[in-house]
Amino acid sequence: GGMYSSTATTIILARKSRQGGPAGQIAAGIISATGMMYLRLLILAFMFNIKIAQKLLPGFFVLVMTSIPIAWYFWWQAHSMTGSQKDCHPEHKNPLELKTAIVFGFLFAFFGAHRSIF
């Protein structure tokens, strides 16, 4: 989900948490999506402006590498506390909800269209 949109992934996982999903796994997913966001931004920076990307590289590298052990810790803690594989492997469904994707699409189009006005 973080490869698509870390914000959408965070919103969807927060909803699952509110519905009683496994908190440790959800925290790990949100942290992983955030780490993926920095990697995604770095790739885009390299595609459009190498000088800026090179300046971002040290900080973004630290953020990505910090998110990995933190996400792993939450995942491991959730797995060890449940002691059950059932909680660690929820049913396979599309992690991106269509409703959330449509809302983000409209917001992106709205602000993109109004960007030329400002």
Give the pLDDT confidence of 51-91 residue by residue, as tens digits: 999 999 999 999 999 999 999 999 888 878 765 544 444 55
What gap in Å lies between CA 5 and CA 27, rounded to an integer?
A: 16
pTM of this structure: 0.65
What gap in Å lies between CA 28 and CA 33, rounded to an integer?
A: 9
Helix (H) or strand (E) holding 57: helix 50-82
3-state secondary structure at position 84: coil
What would the two tokens of residue 98 be? 């269509």
Query: Identity (one letter) of the amino acid at 18?
Result: R
Give the pLDDT confidence of 6-53 residue by residue, as tens digits: 777 788 888 888 888 788 888 898 899 889 889 989 999 999 999 999
Please give the span between the terminal C-alpha atoms of the chain, in angstroms, as a whole number: 31
